[in-house]
Amino acid sequence: MKLNLLPARTGATWVKLGMRTFFRQPLALAGLFFMFMALMSVASMVPLIGLPVAMTLLPAATLGLMAASREAASGKFPMPLMLLTAFRAGPQKLRAMLILGALYALGFMLVIGLSYLVDGGAFVGMYLGGQSPTPELMGNASFQSAMWVFIGLHLPLSLLFWHAPALVFWQDLPPVKSMFFSIIACFRNFWAFALFAGLWMMVMVLTVLALTTLATLLDSPNLAGTLLFPALLLVASMFFTSLYFTYRDSFEAPPEHPA
């Protein structure tokens, strides 16, 4: 397996490919993303073990979205069963994917636990509960510290697992080795990934501004609130569609996995 060194402009190409591929099959890819979100939500609702179970399933579910993007990019219609790609590839790959998921769950719970120790769980309660933070809470020093601890630790965790599901599934790498190559690929192509992340943040900000402006022009304050959540979900769906291309271009494809 060979890592590819990419110019910074590749980050913009990934964003463009993600959007283009999404609009080739918008209903299928949006539907799969909503199924992905539902799977994570339902799994996390299980008392006590819900969050670790959801985090264990996350790499496999992400692989399903990447496989769907691959199908759509090749002109095919991604069926709902694409989300279960990791679970239909035989016991060996399923075992490797579940080990990878367990490692991610362990890392995520460690990050959450350290954040909890900083402020007694205020940030964790907001993050996992999905509640909007109050100005008083955001101004609290310990809450801010917990938030930055979470961000600072979750970022390298995310990079470790960015390419890992695809490397386990398509490159047949062991889980730990896939994590190593994942973070190395992200650092070797730092500027491409920095541009990629920056452009997606810009897309999200422009989406919010566009809806807010539209609501103001139509003198309908509730319009922005009504449209904002589904609009951001669609942007998130496009983002997940683009993940496949970051993997495809970062590694030399094996013979059985054409680019």
- Which pLDDT belongs to residue 234? 94
Model confidence pLDDT, tens digit, residues 204-223: 999 999 988 888 888 777 77
Neighbouring-strand partners of residue 3 = 251
Over residues 157-173, the mean pLDDT reads 96
pLDDT in tens, 72-97: 999 999 999 999 999 998 899 999 99
Residue 134 has pLDDT above 80, yes or no: no
pLDDT for the residue 131: 64
53-79 exposure pattern, b = at least 16 Cβ within 10 A, e = fewer: bbbbbbbbbbbbbbbbbbbbbeeeebe
Q: Band of the pLDDT at 130, cuts 50, 70, 90?
A: low
Mean pLDDT of the chain: 91
Alpha carbon distance, N-terminus to C-terminus of the chain:
14
Burial class of residue 2 in the structure, from the number of CB atoms within 10 Å of its CB (0-12 exposed, 13-18 middle, 19+ buried)? exposed
| Model confidence band, residue 143 (pLDDT cutoffs 50, 70, 90) | confident
- Average pLDDT value for residue range 33-57: 91
Rounded Cα–Cα distance for residues 99 and 176 (Å): 9
Kindly list the domain boundaries of the chain, sorted by start residue. Answer: 15-187
Q: What is the pLDDT of residue 168?
A: 96
Residue pair 169/85 in contact by the 8 Å Cβ criterion? yes
Provide the pLDDT for residue 132: 65
Residue 237 has pLDDT above 80, yes or no: yes
- Proportion of the chain in helix, strand, coil states, percent, rounded to 5: 80, 0, 20
The pTM of this model reads: 0.90
The yes-or-no verdict on residue 258 having pLDDT over 50 is no
Query: What is the SS3 assignment for 172?
Result: coil
